[in-house]
């Protein structure tokens, strides 16, 4: 490293001899960005400075500076690629994304038997691991018609504890060894906001939902800081490869935050992180009395808190107004009372934090919307209240969105790929009458919500291109269903691109720093082979990312996929 620092210093001195700045020109591109006014703008070149800030954007006919003493010093030939602002994923779980890549991944399994075989093989390949952990199973994808059981998992791994988180993160599947170690028995009371699936005699069946998952999760040895750092780096590389330059981390724990800080201190934050604390306790422990400043040249900030109103549809934890169509004795489970929600939101808003609330079912959505409406009278100003997922919002409650939009602003943080992934499951859970309010992107936008798009990674792969394709079509990768599902909720191309760039930055109070290509903003951009404004949705889905740049430093280069990430953090 000292040698490298010396070389950089020498370079800076040479550049300094001729000019105060070492600017870089990017040309031979087809540039597209959302403008400050929300419309699409095109350009043919851009100039950024030594500190990774955009200085100028050139349109056809503009005079572009020349290389040399009075012009720019470095040159990037875009080779005719499409240049877009770096993509922003407005809802991820970074550290979990890394661990999902590093541990057992069941998201590609199509049956219980296939999953059990994969689990057994993984356990054999990792004889040193005291616990087998992983995630990604989905009994819906397996067409099992019920949850899997501990007894079935015992067949794959009888001798060691196993704990596997469901694809949506809202349920876990334990084997008998894990249940024994965690002391979950027939006598264990069901916690509020949770479900323990039970056998006829009351003994735990193996799957625990929402708040009950902690009973086993707390018995799993916590990862050490070195593991968390590795998970963070693994996730960052995955994001960079997909063209992602910034994310909102929805539920940062104290240990996650310490890993972000270690990465920042070591110049290894390759993706900007807009962090939302996992609950008000983590928020206060990390921030003290208010949001943190932007740290590491706009690479990290904790600006808000994430709260959970309910669980997920797949595990029937989403809180509904009327019973589940496929389980008439259940309306799901609220994780907070209305009073608790109001108190937690108040506590955060009082100190100037942004509040993001997970709400999936229509009852959860209505509760969050009415609570926000009440709070807008006390906590005025630019608040940008965030609803995460907003998967089912009763059309009768849509006008509440318009009210909040007019008083403090409202962000609908939605994940386009959830819609095709969940389609048949959602139809079974909700029945036909409630589908008009499901994944209602266009309708919520019409009420004044700002649409910020993301993946909920590791629930879905952090692939903004698949997300844009889904947003435009309401179809899955195979083009089903014909004409799109509830096609009235499709969005146009500019809205889709904004959802992954400018609007996602706005959703994190970052619009003056990144999210567009404009002078004064950070030079975060991608060079890709496909134009999202003209290509077919299928071509967009298969977009190849050639290069990803964050703050004027390269974080991904498809020509050198295994190469070290460049020294991305330039002088502040
Ligand atoms: Zn999430």
Question: Distance, CA 48 to ligand 1 centroid (Å)?
Answer: 34
Q: Are 392 and 361 in contact (CB under 8 A)?
A: yes
Question: Distance, CA 298 to ligand 1 centroid (Å)?
Answer: 23
Burial classification of residue 282, based on how many CB atoms lie within 10 Å of its CB (0-12 exposed, 13-18 middle, 19 or more buried): buried
Question: Distance, CA 202 to ligand 1 centroid (Å)?
Answer: 31
Q: Are 274 and 248 in contact (CB under 8 A)?
A: yes
Question: What's the mean per-residue pLDDT of the chain?
Answer: 93
Whole-number pLDDT of residue 561:
81
Question: Distance, CA 93 to ligand 1 centroid (Å)?
Answer: 6
What b/e string do you get for 296-305 counting C-beta neighbours within 10 Å, with b at 16 or more?
bbbbbbbbbb
Say yes or no to pLDDT of 565 above 90.
no
Q: pLDDT tens digits for 107-150?
A: 999 999 999 999 999 999 999 889 999 999 999 999 999 999 99
Say yes or no to pLDDT of 237 above 60.
yes
Whole-number pLDDT of residue 567:
41
- Residues 543 and 528: their CA atoms lie apart, in Å, by 7
Whole-number pLDDT of residue 398:
97
- Residues 82 and 40: their CA atoms lie apart, in Å, by 14
Mean pLDDT over 340-358 rounds to: 98
Specify the 3-state DSSP secondary structure of 315.
coil
The rounded percent of the chain whose pLDDT value lies above 70 is: 95
Say yes or no to pLDDT of 564 above 80.
no
Question: Distance, CA 566 to ligand 1 centroid (Å)?
Answer: 30
**Tokens 């540039």 sit on residue:** 31
Whole-number pLDDT of residue 20:
52
**Helix (H) / strand (E) containing 355:** strand 354-359
Mean pLDDT over 88-98 rounds to: 97
Question: Distance, CA 167 to ligand 1 centroid (Å)?
Answer: 11
Among 399, 354, 350, 402, CA closest to 379 = 350
Question: Distance, CA 456 to ligand 1 centroid (Å)?
Answer: 5
Q: Are 552 and 561 in contact (CB under 8 A)?
A: no
Question: Distance, CA 7 to ligand 1 centroid (Å)?
Answer: 43
- Residues 392 and 551: their CA atoms lie apart, in Å, by 37
Q: If DSSP states are collapsed to H, E and C, what string results for 152-190?
A: HHHHHCCCCCEEEEECCCCEEEECHHHHHHCCCCCCCCC
Task: Mean pLDDT check: name the lowest of 85-99, 207-221, 557-571.
Answer: 557-571
Please give the model's pTM, rounded to 2 decimal places.
Answer: 0.90
Q: How many helices (H) and strands (E) does the chain have?
A: 18, 24
Task: Mean pLDDT check: name the lowest of 62-76, 261-275, 534-548.
Answer: 62-76
Question: Distance, CA 563 to ligand 1 centroid (Å)?
Answer: 31
Question: Distance, CA 135 to ligand 1 centroid (Å)?
Answer: 14
pLDDT range class, residue 545, cuts 50, 70, 90: very high
Q: pLDDT tens digits for 155-170?
A: 999 999 999 999 988 9
Structure tokens at 110: 């199509």
- Residues 51 and 499: their CA atoms lie apart, in Å, by 27
Say yes or no to pLDDT of 360 above 90.
yes
Question: Distance, CA 294 to ligand 1 centroid (Å)?
Answer: 23
Question: Distance, CA 70 to ligand 1 centroid (Å)?
Answer: 49
Q: pLDDT tens digits for 371-423?
A: 999 999 999 999 999 999 999 999 999 999 999 999 999 999 999 999 999 99
Question: Distance, CA 215 to ligand 1 centroid (Å)?
Answer: 20
Whole-number pLDDT of residue 14:
39
Question: Distance, CA 390 to ligand 1 centroid (Å)?
Answer: 12
Question: Distance, CA 186 to ligand 1 centroid (Å)?
Answer: 31
Q: pLDDT tens digits for 444-470?
A: 999 999 999 999 999 999 999 999 999
Say yes or no to pLDDT of 46 above 90.
yes
Q: Are 383 and 409 in contact (CB under 8 A)?
A: yes
Question: Distance, CA 276 to ligand 1 centroid (Å)?
Answer: 11
Question: Distance, CA 94 to ligand 1 centroid (Å)?
Answer: 10
Among 340, 280, 282, CA closest to 310 = 340
């Amino acid at each position: 490293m000292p040698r490298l620092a010396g070389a950089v210093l020498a370079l800076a001195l040479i550049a300094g001899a001729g000019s105060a700045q070492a600017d870089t020109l990017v040309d031979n591109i087809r540039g597209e960005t959302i403008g400050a006014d929300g419309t699409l703008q095109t350009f043919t070149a851009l100039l950024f400075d030594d500190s990774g800030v955009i200085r100028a954007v050139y349109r056809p006919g503009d005079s572009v500076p020349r290389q040399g003493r009075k012009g720019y010093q470095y040159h990037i030939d875009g080779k005719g690629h499409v240049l877009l602002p770096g993509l922003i994923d407005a809802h991820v779980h970074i550290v979990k994304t890394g661990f999902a890549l590093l541990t057992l991944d069941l998201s590609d399994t199509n049956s219980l038997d296939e999953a059990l075989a994969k689990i057994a093989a993984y356990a054999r390949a990792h004889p040193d691991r005291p616990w087998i952990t992983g995630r990604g199973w989905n009994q819906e994808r397996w067409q099992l018609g019920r949850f899997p059981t501990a007894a079935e998992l015992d067949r794959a791994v009888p001798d060691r504890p196993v704990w596997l988180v469901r694809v949506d993160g809202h349920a876990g599947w334990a084997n008998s060894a894990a249940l024994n170690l965690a002391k979950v028995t027939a006598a264990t009371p069901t916690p509020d906001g949770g479900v323990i699936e039970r056998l006829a005699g009351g003994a735990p069946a193996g799957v625990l939902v929402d708040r009950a998952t902690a009973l086993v999760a707390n018995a799993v040895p916590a990862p050490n800081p070195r593991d968390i750092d590795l998970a963070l780096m693994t996730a960052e590389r995955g994001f960079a490869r997909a063209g992602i330059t910034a994310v909102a981390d929805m539920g940062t724990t104290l240990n996650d935050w310490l890993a972000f800080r270690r990465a920042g201190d070591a110049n290894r934050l390759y993706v900007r992180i807009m962090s939302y604390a996992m609950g008000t306790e983590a928020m206060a422990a990390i921030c003290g009395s208010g949001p943190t400043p932007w740290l590491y040249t706009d690479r990290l900030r904790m600006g808000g808190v994430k709260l959970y109103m309910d669980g997920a549809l797949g595990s029937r934890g989403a809180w509904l107004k009327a019973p589940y169509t496929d389980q008439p004795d259940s309306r799901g489970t609220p994780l907070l009372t209305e009073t608790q929600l109001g108190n937690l939101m108040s506590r955060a808003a009082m100190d100037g934090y942004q509040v993001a609330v997970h709400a999936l079912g229509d009852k959860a959505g209505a509760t969050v919307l009415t609570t926000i409406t009440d709070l807008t009278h006390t906590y005025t100003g630019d608040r940008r209240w965030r609803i995460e997922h907003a998967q089912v919002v009763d059309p009768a409650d849509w006008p509440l969105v318009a009210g909040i939009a007019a008083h403090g602003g409202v962000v609908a943080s939605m994940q386009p790929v959830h819609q095709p992934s969940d389609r048949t499951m959602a139809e079974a859970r909700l029945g036909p009458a409630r589908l008009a309010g499901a994944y209602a992107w266009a309708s919520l936008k019409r009420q004044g919500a700002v649409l910020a798009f993301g993946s909920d990674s590791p629930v879905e792969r952090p692939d903004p291109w698949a997300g844009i394709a889904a947003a435009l079509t309401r179809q899955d990768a195979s083009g089903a269903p014909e004409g799109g599902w509830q096609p009235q909720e499709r969005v146009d191309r500019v809205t889709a691109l904004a959802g992954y760039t400018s609007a996602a930055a706005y959703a994190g109070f970052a619009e003056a720093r990144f999210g567009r290509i404009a002078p004064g903003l950070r030079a975060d951009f991608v060079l890709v082979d496909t134009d999202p404004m003209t290509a077919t949705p299928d071509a967009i889905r298969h977009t190849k990312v050639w290069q990803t740049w964050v703050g004027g430093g390269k974080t991904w280069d498809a020509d050198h996929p295994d190469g070290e990430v460049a020294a991305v953090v330039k002088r502040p």
